[in-house]
Each structure stands twice: as C-alpha cells, then as structure tokens.
Amino acid sequence: MRVTLSDPLTLIPGFERAHREQSELYPATVPGWQPVHTVYVPADRFDADTVARWGGEALDLFARHLAAPGDLAGLLGTEDDLAAEVHRRVAAKLGREPVEDLRVDFEDGYGVRPAEEDGHAAGAAEAVAAMHAAGTLPRRWGLRVKSFADGDPGRSLRTLDGFLTGVAERAGGLPEGFTVTFPKVLMKDYLYQFADCLAALEKGLGLAEGALRFEIQVEATQTLGFLGTGLAASLGGRLAAAHFGVFDYTASCSLPPHEQRLDHPACDHARHVMQTAFAGTGVELSDGSLAASPASDSGPDVHALWARHAELVGHSLRHGFHQGWDMHPSHLVSRYAAVYAFHLRHYAEFSHRVRAWQEQREAGGGVMDEPATVKTMAAALRRADLALGGG
C-alpha cells in the first residue's frame, strides 16, 4: 500500500503522554458487583439486630400484601410469568440478604446532638463488630458523617475516628466492604481535606494505603460546578461513589415542596451531569430516596407506596442509575421487585442478540445491532447476573 506520510508518529509527539493520561483518568475497568441500594439508619436507632429486624418487617409485609404472584403482576404492570419469577426471587432475597449496603447515619437522619454523639458512635462500632462476628454484616457497610459545610469538621472527624477505632479494636481489624459517606460537599477543597484525614486514619490504625474510601453526596447545584474531568483521579483512588441527594438538591433549586421528587426534570439533569463527570472513571453512581412509608397497614396504602417506589426505582434504572437509597423496611420489597423485573424483562432477548453477534449471524426480527449496542447489552447482562445472583 502506498502512503503519503513517511513517519506519521513524528506529527504527534505528545501522543504517549496523552494516552497515559487517558488511562489514568479513564481506567476502563470492568464494573464489579454494586449494591442495588443503600439503607440509611439513624445512629440512635441502630443496633446489631437492625438488618434482621428490617428483613423481618419486609417479609411480613410481603407475605400479607403480596401473597400471590398475581398481586405483583398488577403492581409492576408485568406479565404473569415474569411476576412469578420476581415473586420467588424477592421472597428468597428478603429471607437471605435483605440489606446489601448499610449506613449508620450521623447527619440529617440523626441531627445535632453533641452530648450524645460519642456514645452513639461507640455503640454503632460495637454493633458492627457484633454483626461481623455473627456473619450478618452486609457486604457493604459504613457511616455517614456530618458535613464540613456545617462549619464543624472536628465533630465529623471525631465520630469517624471513634467509630473506626472501635470497630477495628473489637473486630480485630476493619471488615471488608467499608465506605464513608461525605455529605453536602459545597466546596471542592473539602474533598481533598477529607481524603487527607482518611490517609492519616489509615496510618494510625495500621491499615493499608487506600483502604479507606469515601463517597460524596451531590446535594446542591454548587456541587455540580466542580464535578468534571480529573476529579476522581486527583483524589488518588479514594473516591468510590457519588450519591444523589434529591431533597437537598431540589431545595437548592428553589423547587416547591410538592415537586421534591426523584423524577423531576431538575433531578434528571443533575444525574446526567454526574454521569458525564464520572463516565469511565470507575466511580459508582447512586440515586436518592423516596421519603415516604405506607400511610397505614391496609392493603391499598401499602400497595400505593410500593407502586410509587417501584415507579421511581424504574425511572432511576432507565436513566442508568442502578443503586438508590432505601429508608424504610417496606422499600426493600418494591426495590428488589423493580430491580429484578428490570433485569429479567430483557435478559433472554439480550442474550440471544449478543450470541448472534458473537457467532456473526442474524439476530432475527430485522435487528441490526451496532457494536456499541452489543457492548451495552453484554454489560447489561453482566450487571443483571451480579444483581440477580443474590435473588
């Protein structure tokens, strides 16, 4: 083949540097298991039986109000055979692993209680160690500390230090799966300051470098302004996730109270900015919560709560957010039902189309898949396998 340029690489002398930077910014790692939710429990209401109690309450609601798969089909708007499979999986999940990710909350759900916080931090550490010893500690766990934006970082760090020190002493080290939630990040500098504190705690506790990672909460319009290229890399791998805070965020947008909802267009915009900022970085994304519980124990009220929650979970999933917050035992039922239905609904179709592409044959039905679509379907199947593995 005849060419015009004799040595084209001399025209791009900065390529190797740019490619190295690309690899650092966008490591392109294959996503591993990610919890489908994070359960938040105020520190004063948390003990070693919390997870078992939530699971028991969720199973009781499930047994009384979704006894038959047909009830679930109507709730989710799915066909009967899919509802039957989802029903079976939800019952098994609630009995075996009702909570995948747990946060002991010392922020909004807890309040300002300076005289009590030390005691609750120590009690939470004792409870976590007991759960670890009993094999009941969720795969992911941790705490949410107070925000530096409150003007008292000492309180935030004292609670984190006491909690981690207490767990490590009682459990003989730090159990796997720990993360800390850093809320209301209004200034970019707070991220680096918090990361430095985590490094100091690692050294003091004798932990491996990078063992302590954190997730930020995107709860204000100001935060969106400094999310962008290089943020995750600049934090040295400590940034594990970004969680969206719907109520604080919608308040920062001056939305009226009745419009503080996950499916508001303002929230869609914020989530899309988060996706753009963290695409390819390995930072996980999580949506927010529904701040509601059943109005009563009656069937219609419980079903209404489940229907609304399942609708919001589905909205998050369709927008590429595969995790969200659950704030009440009833949410576990609709969370798992919506997640399982979402993954199972297209599983067979995606499997067929990916195999057809791999075997270089027609998928049928007039489908012409692009390579990017096949890659997306393969990723969806992997995510489904990981999510469905516990159900």
Kindly give the confidence (pLDDT) of every residue in the chain, 391 residues in length, as a single tens digit, with 9 standing for 90 and above.
Answer: 999 988 988 999 999 999 998 988 888 777 789 999 999 999 999 999 999 999 999 999 999 999 989 889 988 888 889 999 999 999 999 999 999 999 999 999 999 999 999 999 999 999 999 999 999 999 999 999 999 999 999 999 999 999 999 999 999 999 999 999 999 999 999 999 999 999 999 999 999 999 999 999 999 999 999 998 899 999 999 999 999 999 999 999 999 999 999 999 999 999 999 999 999 999 999 999 999 999 999 999 999 999 999 999 999 999 999 999 999 999 999 999 999 999 999 999 999 999 998 988 887 877 878 899 999 999 999 999 999 985 5
**Could you tell me which of 341, 294, 342 has the C-alpha nearest to residue 60?**
294
φ and ψ at 240, to 5 degrees? Answer: -90, -35
Rounded Cα–Cα distance for residues 264 and 236 (Å): 34
Which residue, among 59, 80, 60, 82, has the nearest Cα to 70 in the 3D structure? 80
Specify the pLDDT at position 360: 84
Segment 68-104, tens digit of pLDDT = 898 899 888 888 899 999 999 999 999 999 999 999 9
CA–CA gap between residue 136 and residue 84 (Å, rounded)? 28
Query: What would the pLDDT profile of 185-220 be if each residue is shown by its tens digit?
Result: 999 999 999 999 999 999 999 999 999 999 999 999
Residue whose tokens read 């609304």: 308
pLDDT given at position 206: 96
* Cα gap 48→53, rounded to integer Å: 10
Distance CA 166, CA 14 (A): 50
**Measured distance CA(152)–CA(146) in Å, rounded:** 8
299 contacts: CB under 8 Å, gap ≥ 6: 65
- pLDDT at site 120: 98
Q: What's the number of CA atoms in the CB half-sphere (13 Å) around residue 337?
A: 31
User: What is the dihedral angle through the alpha carbons of 42, 55, 37, 154, rounded to the nearest 10 degrees?
Assistant: 20
Distance, in Å, from the CA atom of 244 to the CA atom of 146, rounded to the nearest integer, reads 16
Q: Which domains does the chain carry?
A: 31-345 (3.20.20.60), 346-391 (no CATH)
Answer yes or no: pTM beyond 0.85.
yes
Radius of gyration, CA atoms only, the chain: 23
Identify the pLDDT of residue 79.
85
CA-CA-CA-CA dihedral for 144, 150, 153, 158, to nearest 10: -50
